[in-house]
Amino acid sequence: MKITAIVLALWAGIATAVNPGLLGLENLTQDLLRIESVREIKNVQRTYAQLAQHGRWNDMADLFADNGILRWGKGTGDILSTSDASSVTGRSAIEDWLRQEAGNMDGIKPGSIHVFMSDMPVITLADDGRTAQGRWTALRKLGDGKGATRIEGGIFENEYVSSEGKWKISLLRYYPLYAGNYEKGWKNLGANGSLPVVPYHYTLAQAGVTLLQTERASTTAGQKGNLKGRPTPAKLSIEELEYRVAHLNEEDEVRNLVHGMGYYVDRRMWPDVVSLFTQNGTITVQNTTSPTGPAGIQSVLNRMGPEGLSHGILNEHPFFGTVVSVSPDHKTATARGLEIGLIGDSNARTGQWQFCVFHHSLVKDLNTGTWKIQDLKHHRLLFADYATGWGNGGILPASSVVPPPILSPYYQSAPTANRRPVSWRPFFKRYPAWEEPKESITSRLANTHRLLLRSSAYDESENTSGSYGFYIDDIRCSDFAKLHSDRGHKLSPGIGWYYTPDAISLSCSSRYYRQNSTSYNPSMSSLRSSVPFHWRLQPVILVSQDGRSATLRTRNLQTGTSRTQGNNGWMGGMYHDQLVLEGEKRKLWSITIDEFYWNSRNWTTGWANVAPASNTTVTSKWWLSNISKYKRQSDNLPPDVSLQHPALLERETGFNGGPPPTISWPGVQRMWWAYRNLVTGDLPSDNSYWGPPGCVPCRGAKPEWALTANGYQEPPSGPTTVTADWLPDSGVDIEVTIKGGPKETAKGGWVQLVLSFDGEIGKFGEEGPVGDDGKVVLRVRGPGAFGRTIPIEVYYFGNENLKPGKGILVGEA
């Protein structure tokens, strides 16, 4: 068993790099429960929004704790004062209040609509794990079907409590910030048309603090006794821990796939969309299911228009509040959320709103270990012409189709028989069913810890991303700068990247502050008259093998507010970011916002009626309204890497501040991808691939800013493909090829052959490490295997830059 020992040593090596301390079952149990808690809390809030779309007030009230409080700001006086809010206590009073508040805009009465968006969570879980707070951005679009409409935007600062094993809302606290109707648009609700800063439940010192007590315990802050109140943890078995951590890992993969699919749809990259489905996949729209397979899927996609975006075509579909449910055996999953289509043809001056619920089914391909889409299911809430709006019931006949079921927000324990079988554990050698895994408890703990860190990295990245979003909305320059690593960098739109928090802070304050102040100056913001809300939505988060670094893509959906009704609109862009775990905090490493792909001129004209911009004019309304201001900023404070850097010529041409000519909406700008196809592993079909290194200025301009140049791993850019074939004229030797993306070597990772026949698993072939060329030749062993057609499973265990992967070779031995 010498070979097994080497395989284990490899993984133990990566895992111990994570945390030198020896972690026991208690430690991992405690941290697992913390991650599950944060996810349940998010699910509860997302479910609240989903139920509101269908007028299910009773079920919404059920999400509150006993004596839970709903405090809803009226927006008629001092927004921050409790006296300006309706406050109701207890489930039945809350239910009544919700019903009354919605009135005829309940999403049930024919033609009515109650669209509820709530996203960008920042969740802080108490040290004792029993209570939590959460900040969310919120927006509702309502209509009664008879012409009356409402638009309401604001911020939630909520509190949650764990009660009898379930997370509940103990205080739902809504601060209204802007409101209006469809006809005229919205405006600020604050006194004199200003907007106060909604108090934060977290301080800068807390921002980004890791969820994991084990990580905190190993830092100075943790040792200083910052972990007081830590409960005596329960102790789950190693099998239970491995199973539940795997469950979280699967959920991350599913969420990425669903969110990633959406970006392909936005760009009408039809071949990429089709490639995410199973061979007999389908699309179901309003209970009508397409023919199965690629042709059937394509036929539905064609209804959205031809492949690719041409001048003036907008096909945005932001997703909000995705809840994912993975089956106990980890073979199937469902994802439910809200999708809003912002559809436009600027050439024809037409635009449309499409409000849909999605309820997608996914399955795990057991041959490759990757998730795929089985059925992409859409349920229409309402479609409306931009010109007339959503107040009159929309342009399609009222739907009688029953909305898809709401998923449970809670993790339910499943009988062992229904669970993922132990033999699926992908990171260790595969054993015959009758044999106990031979790994030592120490290496199993270390590996479980590593996998736990990977899922916590997912939530922590979304969390720091949210903190950044809220700080940037309030233009807290020095605070969002301090969310960055000391070695971090950020793109200042239109200019270039600034390196270190100090430079990031200065580049922001010199641009947006009236006086030369590097610290957060509330007077700048507390009487501000307009706020550009950055909705950092729909994350695709690729986490490194050791869980310490991550690559993050989020949408930037921006809505502005101001004193004037109708003077506000929308714009959309894309963030390409990276984050790292530094001490006890998850920090921003790299922020690139590739500027904007589209915008509306103002509320009335929408995105479909934007005058073509000249190539030097910046059209976006909020940040980019004044090019001379940027010129001044970059003269005084030159960026460390300019958008005009020669190494970034291809990447930045067309974006504001990049090499000319600038392409502004309704022109269609190229979109970049930091990851490969999440199912096939192929590069994006339009050749716009950037990674690794995933950090934008690291390629060519600043290689020394790359994660790998700073002791971090570069997250895998997609799945690992495993193919195998018999060596010619051999009959016993198999050549295995392992493939990641460009600059990702499979070298050093181990491969195992597993032969299954006569209903038995584990007539093993050889195992061995992958060479420089990504290949390894292994011999089939197994008495009784010869002369029969048998499937040979080929497992790749992964290395520092590639995930594990799996392939199947069916052939005659």
Q: Which stretch binds ligand NAG (CB under 6 A): 122-130, 570-578, 683-691, 793-801?
A: 122-130
User: Shortest Cβ distance from residue 565 to ligand NAG (Å)?
Assistant: 7
Between CA 551 and CA 237 the distance in angstroms is: 32
Cβ distance to ligand NAG smaller for residue 21 or 711: 21
Nearest to 675 by CA among 804, 506, 544, 517: 544
- Interaction between residue 287 and ligand NAG (CB under 6 A): yes
Asked if residues 470 and 200 have their Cβ atoms less than 8 Å apart, the reply is yes
Between CA 478 and CA 457 the distance in angstroms is: 24
Residue 197: HSE in the Cβ half-sphere, 13 Å Cα cutoff: 19
User: Shortest Cβ distance from residue 776 to ligand NAG (Å)?
Assistant: 30
Q: Which of residues 749-808 bind ligand NAG (CB under 6 A)?
A: none
Q: Which stretch binds ligand NAG (CB under 6 A): 334-342, 397-405, 491-499, 643-651?
A: 397-405
Between CA 571 and CA 665 the distance in angstroms is: 10
Cβ distance to ligand NAG smaller for residue 390 or 458: 458
- Interaction between residue 614 and ligand NAG (CB under 6 A): yes
Asked if residues 548 and 456 have their Cβ atoms less than 8 Å apart, the reply is no
Q: Which stretch binds ligand NAG (CB under 6 A): 253-261, 624-632, 734-742, 754-762?
A: 624-632
- Interaction between residue 38 and ligand NAG (CB under 6 A): yes
- Interaction between residue 202 and ligand NAG (CB under 6 A): yes
In the block, tokens 């507010």 appear at: 561
Say how many C-beta atoms besides its own lie within 10 A of residue 515's C-beta: 8
Backbone angles phi, psi at 267, to 5 degrees: -95, 5
- 382-408 in b/e burial notation, b at 16+ Cβ within 10 A? bbbebeebbbbbbeeeebeeebbebbe
Residue selected from 602, 653, 745, 756 as contacting ligand NAG according to rule CB under 6 A: 602
Q: Which stretch binds ligand NAG (CB under 6 A): 20-28, 107-115, 349-357, 748-756?
A: 20-28
Cβ distance to ligand NAG smaller for residue 550 or 557: 550
Q: Which stretch binds ligand NAG (CB under 6 A): 153-161, 398-406, 689-697, 735-743?
A: 398-406
Residue selected from 89, 219, 605, 723 as contacting ligand NAG according to rule CB under 6 A: 605
Whether a cis peptide bond, with omega within 30° of 0, leads into 684 is: no
> x-or-dash pattern for ligand NAG, window 507-546, by CB under 6 A?
---------x-x----------------------------
Cβ distance to ligand NAG smaller for residue 19 or 717: 19
Q: Which of residues 291-310 bind ligand NAG (CB under 6 A)?
A: 292
Q: Which stretch binds ligand NAG (CB under 6 A): 394-402, 644-652, 742-750, 792-800?
A: 394-402
Residue selected from 17, 26, 271, 686 as contacting ligand NAG according to rule CB under 6 A: 26
CA torsion, points 343, 347, 350, 356, in degrees to nearest 10?
Answer: -10
Which class for 657: exposed (0-12), middle (13-18), buried (19 or more C-beta within 10 A)? buried
User: Shortest Cβ distance from residue 218 to ligand NAG (Å)?
Assistant: 6
Handedness of CA 800, 802, 804, 807 (dihedral sign): negative
User: Shortest Cβ distance from residue 344 to ligand NAG (Å)?
Assistant: 15
Q: Which of residues 646-665 bind ligand NAG (CB under 6 A)?
A: 661
Between CA 319 and CA 555 the distance in angstroms is: 9
Q: Which of residues 457-476 bind ligand NAG (CB under 6 A)?
A: 459-460, 463, 467
User: Shortest Cβ distance from residue 707 to ligand NAG (Å)?
Assistant: 20
Cβ distance to ligand NAG smaller for residue 158 or 737: 158
- 179-203 in b/e burial notation, b at 16+ Cβ within 10 A? bbbbeebbbbbbeeebbbbbebbbe
- Interaction between residue 687 and ligand NAG (CB under 6 A): no
Cβ distance to ligand NAG smaller for residue 222 or 765: 222
Q: Which residues contact 316 (CB under 8 A, 6 or more apart)?
A: 266, 341, 342, 343, 572, 598
Say how many C-beta atoms besides its own lie within 10 A of residue 128's C-beta: 11
Whether a cis peptide bond, with omega within 30° of 0, leads into 196 is: no
CA angle 342, 346, 348 (to 5 degrees): 115
Between CA 281 and CA 548 the distance in angstroms is: 35
- Interaction between residue 628 and ligand NAG (CB under 6 A): yes
Which class for 81: exposed (0-12), middle (13-18), buried (19 or more C-beta within 10 A)? exposed
Cβ distance to ligand NAG smaller for residue 213 or 538: 213
Between CA 11 and CA 567 the distance in angstroms is: 57
- CA 6 and chain centroid, separation: 35
Q: Which stretch binds ligand NAG (CB under 6 A): 396-404, 690-698, 721-729, 744-752?
A: 396-404
Cβ distance to ligand NAG smaller for residue 502 or 766: 502
Q: Which stretch binds ligand NAG (CB under 6 A): 240-248, 318-326, 385-393, 400-408?
A: 400-408
Cβ distance to ligand NAG smaller for residue 104 or 361: 361
- Interaction between residue 625 and ligand NAG (CB under 6 A): yes
User: Shortest Cβ distance from residue 710 to ligand NAG (Å)?
Assistant: 22
Residue selected from 214, 447, 478, 561 as contacting ligand NAG according to rule CB under 6 A: 214
Cβ distance to ligand NAG smaller for residue 501 or 740: 501
- 418-441 in b/e burial notation, b at 16+ Cβ within 10 A? ebbeeebbbbbbbbeeeeebebee
Nearest to 513 by CA among 608, 398, 637: 637
Between CA 707 and CA 699 the distance in angstroms is: 12
Cβ distance to ligand NAG smaller for residue 287 or 299: 287
Which residues of the shown chain bind ligand NAG in the complex (CB under 6 A)? 21, 24, 26-27, 38, 122-124, 191-192, 202, 206-209, 211, 213-214, 217-218, 280, 287, 292, 400-402, 459-460, 463, 467, 516, 518, 566-567, 601-602, 604-605, 612, 614-615, 625-626, 628-629, 661
